[in-house]
């Protein structure tokens, strides 16, 4: 019985150690239409992320690159990145993000939203 409990505990600890930063929510949310245009993009992960190892690439209508300032950490939540946005015109937007969790593993993904 003790061996079984010890093995179960070790398995749980190992699984936690190998977890990667996964996007939990975004504002705007993936697949949504928004009006007015957002002034910032917020990406919230399941664990703290390294802002210095995080990037966001945004393309807008006609696949035009959207110029942005540097991404920043939310000062009240080390699991959330904040990307200030310029004035966005109506159209479809694609956000490609990469980040690194404290475990040192990089993750990436994308979200899409539409500005009405």
Range of the domain at 80: 21-115
What are the φ and ψ backbone dihedral angles of 85, each rounded to 5 degrees? Answer: -115, 145
Pairwise CA distance, residues 106 & 91, whole Å: 30
With respect to residue 14, please indicate whether it lies within any of the assigned structural domains. no
Pairwise CA distance, residues 37 & 23, whole Å: 22
C-alpha gyration radius of the chain? 18
Compute mean pLDDT per 10 residues along the chain, 116 residues long, and list them. 47 52 97 98 97 97 96 97 98 98 92 98
Pairwise CA distance, residues 73 & 80, whole Å: 6
User: How many domains, the chain?
Assistant: 1
Structure pTM? 0.83
Residue 101: which CATH number? 2.60.40.1220
With respect to residue 15, please indicate whether it lies within any of the assigned structural domains. no
With respect to residue 5, please indicate whether it lies within any of the assigned structural domains. no
With respect to residue 9, please indicate whether it lies within any of the assigned structural domains. no
């Amino acid at each position: 019985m003790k061996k079984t409990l010890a093995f179960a505990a070790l398995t749980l600890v190992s699984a936690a150690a190998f977890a990667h930063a996964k996007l939990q929510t975004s504002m705007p949310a993936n697949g949504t239409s928004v009006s007015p245009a957002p002034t910032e993009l917020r990406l919230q992960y399941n664990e703290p992320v390294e802002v210095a190892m995080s990037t966001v690439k945004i393309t807008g209508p006609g696949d035009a690159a959207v110029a942005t300032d540097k991404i920043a950490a939310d000062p009240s939540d080390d699991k959330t990145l904040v990307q200030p946005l310029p004035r966005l015109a109506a159209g479809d937007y694609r956000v490609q993000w990469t980040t690194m969790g404290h475990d040192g593993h990089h993750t990436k993904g994308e979200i899409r939203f539409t500005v009405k």
